[in-house]
Amino acid sequence: MSELSTHILSSGLIPQKASTDATHIAIAAIHQMDFFMTWNCRHLANAVIAIEINKICQNLGLTCPVICTPEALMGD
């Protein structure tokens, strides 16, 4: 598991039982993806959590992708 996913999990933003969610975010950030689309609004596409995950990424010198649902990315 990457350092980023470890930090995300240790922050308590994403529960241990959803560790694959933290890993997916880490992979997206490490590979400099612009967007991370998901229907998971509980742990991922959640504005409050996304802001905190972005801070964790920045503290590690990474840019967090925009975490959103496909609907939000498509717009009207």
Helix axes 19-30, 3-11, angle to 10 degrees: 140
pLDDT beyond 90 at 66: yes
The pTM assigned to this predicted structure is 0.86
* pLDDT tens track for 15-26: 999 999 999 999
Asked if residue 28 has pLDDT above 90, the reply is yes
| Calpha distance 22→44 (Å, rounded) | 9
**Distances from the Cα of 7 to the Cαs of 11, 14, 29, 70, 73, in angstroms?**
6, 10, 13, 26, 27
Radius of gyration of the chain (CA): 11
Q: What average pLDDT does range 4-29 have in this prediction?
A: 94
